[in-house]
């Protein structure tokens, strides 16, 4: 096995970009077989959805880490939790986290590089198998969790669910968060199509938990769960037969939720409810109200309605402004952001917004009507929509176009009065760049979170009815 250092690994992964997105389980299943099926050696909670799956994953992992810490003391042996998410904000290592010294921590860079090298070696066996960027990382995460003897892994899908590489995890609970229109080129043109792809993570006799679906999506989830003989907990329940109401979070816990927005109550409820279905030695601790409370309170998920205090030398003079960043990039996410904004004390509002090509749809302009000044910029990615094109879209006509995001940020900060609020939202690439600029957060040199343009090759039609891969 040829081991690369971490920067070399980033270069290797960046070189996989031309493969784009290739839905299907055949390639990664073969590589995992060559690795000895590490995905089957770790119990998992599997999470899909359009909005909220990252926050739900963060809540679940935080609670599980508290449970693991307490179980380690009681049983006098270490218990470990894993977390696999995408995309990352600043560093690739954010995607793979596991318990280290009783804390859920990013995978050490060289450890991730070694895991990727192991996956490369498995791919190189005859006959050769070419994995995509996301498939390599997923296989590496499975291998790492097995090597670290993780007791419970929280696994977030990358795209969809039915054909997502994470679908092969050994899930003890399947979770689907809010479903909305996004990635329609791959998941289908309607919410019904998208719901079918997300529901593809349901497994026979494995509990499924879902929240906040429209009627069309709700019926798809019910039908797929029934076909898979998966017991289903759903909110809103609406008295549907053979479906159980999802337990909601008690109002007494709402004030301790660290992630802003009413929608986080549903995300937290999903995490808490799903953990009650995890089997094994962690179960008594996962259901402990004190563990749940501590885990919820300790949850962190950067870039989601996050208030930033500038600490970098270039921007610390703007600490007297309230700066809020949020990676809301579809109408439902922007609606949640707007609702949160309207609950906040009134301040002079400035907005910096940028989106990528193909992501601009009706409803993205929600916060703008409440702003005194709006600046449009181009996110730092090859797929970034030019600022002038954003300004030409409905709802953004009064935005000032400044293509360079760094210049746009500086102007936005200067134009926000003392005590005012600057809201930065849209593409995660813009949010990540602004966050790093304001805080000095270390960032990988290569922008490996953008796997390039989507390929036209597919392993299976993206919109067909979900089928069980195994």
What are the CA-CA distances from residue 107 to residues 114, 245, 263, 389, 429 (Å)?
11, 37, 29, 39, 22
Query: Same structural domain for residues 120 and 142?
Result: yes
For the ranges 3-7, 124-128, 199-203, 437-441, which has the lowest average pLDDT?
Answer: 124-128
Residue 352: the pLDDT is 98
Residue 376: inside a domain, yes or no? yes
Residue 98: the pLDDT is 98
Query: Same structural domain for residues 293 and 318?
Result: no
Query: Same structural domain for residues 340 and 271?
Result: no
Over the stretch 282-298, which tens digit does the pLDDT of each residue have? 999 999 999 999 999 99
pLDDT at 467 over 80: no
Over the stretch 260-286, which tens digit does the pLDDT of each residue have? 999 999 999 999 999 999 999 999 999
pLDDT at 462 over 50: no
Question: What total number of domains does the chain contain?
Answer: 2
Quick check: bond before 215 cis, omega within 30?
A: no
Residue 314 phi/psi, 5-degree rounding, is -75, -25
For the ranges 29-43, 79-93, 228-242, 410-424, which has the lowest average pLDDT?
Answer: 228-242
pLDDT at 456 over 60: no
Please state, rounded to an integer, the average pLDDT across all residues of the chain. Answer: 89
39 contact partners, CB below 8 Å, separation of at least 6: 32, 142, 146, 168, 169, 170
Query: Same structural domain for residues 353 and 294?
Result: no
For the ranges 95-99, 178-182, 230-234, 291-295, which has the lowest average pLDDT?
Answer: 178-182
Residue 303: inside a domain, yes or no? no
Query: Same structural domain for residues 370 and 242?
Result: no
Q: Give CA–CA dist 245/238, Å, rounded.
A: 8
pTM attached to this predicted model:
0.92
**Could you say which of 298, 322, 340 is where a domain stops?**
298
**Could you say which of 298, 331, 360 is where a domain stops?**
298
Residue 161: inside a domain, yes or no? yes
Q: Give CA–CA dist 116/197, Å, rounded.
A: 28
Listed residue (275, 267, 220, 268) closest to 243, CA to CA? 220
- Looking at the DSSP bridge assignments, the partners of residue 325 are 306, 424
Residue 445: inside a domain, yes or no? no
Give the CATH number of the domain where residue 123 resides: 3.40.1190.10
pLDDT at 244 over 90: yes
Query: Same structural domain for residues 272 and 341?
Result: no
Query: Same structural domain for residues 63 and 175?
Result: yes
Residue 465: inside a domain, yes or no? no
Q: Give CA–CA dist 133/21, Å, rounded.
A: 8
Please give the residue that has the higher pLDDT: either 219 or 377.
377
Query: Same structural domain for residues 181 and 65?
Result: yes
Query: Same structural domain for residues 216 and 333?
Result: no
Residue 1: the pLDDT is 59
Which residue has tokens 């343009």?
Answer: 453
Judge contact between 176 and 50, C-beta under 8 A.
no
Buried-state track 32-68, b at ≥16 Cβ within 10 A, e below 16: bebbeebbeebbbbbbbbbbbbbbbbbbbbbbbbbbb
Residue 37: inside a domain, yes or no? yes
Query: Same structural domain for residues 288 and 417?
Result: no
**Could you say which of 298, 321, 337 is where a domain stops?**
298
Give the CATH number of the domain where residue 348 resides: 3.90.190.20
Q: Give CA–CA dist 374/412, Å, rounded.
A: 8
pLDDT at 470 over 60: no
pLDDT at 80 over 50: yes
Stretch 99-111: mean pLDDT: 96
Residue 463: inside a domain, yes or no? no
Query: Same structural domain for residues 75 and 116?
Result: yes
Residue 404: the pLDDT is 97
Residue 399: inside a domain, yes or no? yes
Range of the domain at 51: 6-298
Query: Same structural domain for residues 252 and 368?
Result: no
């Amino acid at each position: 096995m040829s081991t690369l250092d971490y920067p070399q690994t980033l270069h290797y992964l960046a070189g996989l970009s031309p493969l784009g997105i290739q839905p299907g389980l055949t390639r990664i299943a073969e590589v995992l077989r060559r690795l000895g099926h590490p995905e089957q050696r770790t119990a998992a909670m599997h999470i899909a959805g359009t909005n909220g799956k990252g926050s739900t994953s963060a809540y679940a992992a935080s609670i599980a880490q508290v449970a693991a810490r307490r179980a380690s003391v009681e049983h006098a042996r270490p218990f470990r939790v894993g977390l696999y998410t995408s995309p990352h904000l600043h560093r690739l290592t954010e995607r793979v986290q596991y318990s280290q010294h009783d804390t859920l921590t990013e995978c050490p860079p060289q450890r991730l590089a070694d895991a990727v090298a192991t996956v490369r070696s498995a791919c190189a066996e005859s006959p050769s198998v070419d994995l995509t960027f996301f498939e390599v990382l997923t296989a590496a995460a499975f291998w790492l969790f097995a090597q670290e003897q993780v007791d419970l892994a929280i696994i977030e899908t990358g795209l969809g669910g039915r054909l997502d590489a994470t679908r092969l995890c050994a899930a003890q609970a399947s979770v689907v968060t809010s479903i909305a229109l996004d990635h329609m080129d791959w998941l289908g043109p309607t919410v019904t199509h998208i719901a079918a792809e997300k529901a593809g993570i349901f497994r026979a006799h494995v509990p499924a938990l879902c929240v906040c679906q429209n009627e069309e999506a709700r019926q798809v989830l019910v039908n797929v769960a029934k076909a898979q003989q998966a017991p289903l907990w759903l909110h809103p329940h609406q008295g549907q037969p053979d479906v159980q109401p999802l337990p909601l979070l008690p109002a007494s816990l709402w004030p301790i939720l660290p992630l802003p927005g009413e929608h986080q109550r549903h995300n937290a409820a999903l995490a808490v409810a799903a953990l009650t279905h995890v089997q094994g030695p962690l179960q008594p601790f996962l259901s402990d109200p004190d563990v749940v409370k501590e885990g919820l309170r300790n949850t962190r998920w950067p870039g989601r309605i996050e208030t930033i205090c500038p600490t970098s030398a270039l921007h610390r003079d703007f600490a007297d402004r309230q700066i809020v960043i949020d990676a809301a990039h579809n109408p439902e996410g922007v609606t949640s952001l707007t609702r949160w904004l309207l609950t906040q004390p009134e301040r002079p509002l400035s907005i910096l917004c940028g989106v990528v090509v193909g992501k601009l749809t009706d409803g993205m302009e929600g916060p703008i009507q409440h702003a005194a000044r709006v600046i449009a910029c181009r996110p730092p990615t090859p797929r970034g929509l030019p600022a002038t094109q954003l300004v030409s879209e409905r709802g953004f006509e009064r935005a000032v176009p400044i293509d360079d995001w760094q210049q746009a940020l500086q102007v936005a900060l200067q134009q926000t009065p003392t005590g005012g609020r600057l809201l930065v939202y849209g593409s995660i690439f813009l949010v990540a760049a602004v966050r790093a600029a304001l805080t000095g957060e270390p960032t990988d040199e290569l922008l490996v979170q953008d796997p390039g343009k989507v390929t036209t090759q597919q392993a299976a039609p993206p919109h067909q009815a979900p089928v069980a891969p195994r």
